[in-house]
Amino acid sequence: MRIIAVDDERMALENILNEITKAASGEVHEIKGFREASAALAYAGQETCDVAFLDIEMRDMNGLALAERLQKTNPRINIIFTTGYDEFAGSAFEMYASGYCLKPVTAEKIKRELANLRHPVEKTLGKRLKIVTFGNFEAFVEGKPLKFQYNRTKELLAYLIDRNGALCSNQEIMEVLWEDIEDVSKHSSYMKNLRADLFATLIQAGCEDVFVRQRGMTAILPDKVDCDYFELMRGDPEAVKAYRGEYMMQYSWSEYTHGMLETGGE
């Protein structure tokens, strides 16, 4: 599921993005926020969005007009209006909106709206992405190794797997991938290329549902991946038996998790 949120107030936008992340964990592979309607329209013209949370009263274009534009691009997009006033409810439902969420927006309100979408979002069935971490790190789709444009993209995926579902900032990832360089900011453009390469590769492999992007944050959803490390952390007997004391051996930063596995998580 791909979700966008549009609100011209910075703090309001940050709040709804945080609440969406809490409410839709495990179901969303991308959440994007915009403070300008024009930017949201440009993005929706290139990417198929499933749900749009729109503030109604905005400076450059009100949410009702924005919703009409989005629906022309994608008639099946679920529009959920967010506002501090209930006076717009009639207008919202006249245009077949999926929902109407009064501010302050909370994770519970978002869960309720996502559970009752006008246009249901099809979920990808099965776990196409297989990850091997015992020994060296490898990634496969239907038995074939994933191929990336950049060598470091594979390491980026490995680190996200190691973080076991936690959202990681670009700064954190750069400090790990370029741990021997004092000023990692020099690699910020390269970092953006790595993220883009990873996402494009996963889309091509039909595995985009495993990947979450949010305002410079990235994560892999453990429940969407067949991974020996994830199974070991869940206490799966087969994974426990398969682990022989070797974990992502080609990456020095993996030593912390390796030590945790060796001590049984103590």
Domain at 129-262: CATH architecture: Orthogonal Bundle (1.10)
Question: What distance, in Å, lies between the first and last C-alpha atoms of the chain?
Answer: 36
Q: Using the structure block, give the residue that is written with the tokens 């991308």.
A: 30
Query: Which pTM was predicted?
Result: 0.55
Q: How far apart are CA 108 and CA 23, in angstroms?
A: 7
The token pair that represents 64 in the structure block: 């009702």
User: Does the domain formed by 2-114 have CATH 3.40.50.2300?
Assistant: yes
Please give, one letter per residue, the 3-state secondary structure of 51-63: EEEEECCCCCCCH
The predicted-structure confidence for 196-242, as pLDDT tens digits, reads as follows 999 999 988 888 889 888 888 899 999 889 999 999 999 998 899 99
The predicted-structure confidence for 50-62, as pLDDT tens digits, reads as follows 999 999 989 889 8
Q: How far apart are CA 54 and CA 174, in angstroms?
A: 33
Average model confidence (pLDDT) across the chain? 88
The token pair that represents 211 in the structure block: 């990947």
Give the domain ranges of the chain.
Answer: 2-114, 129-262
| Helical packing angle, 170-177 and 188-204, nearest 10° | 100
pLDDT at 125 > cutoff 50 = no
What pLDDT is stored for residue 122 in this prediction? 61
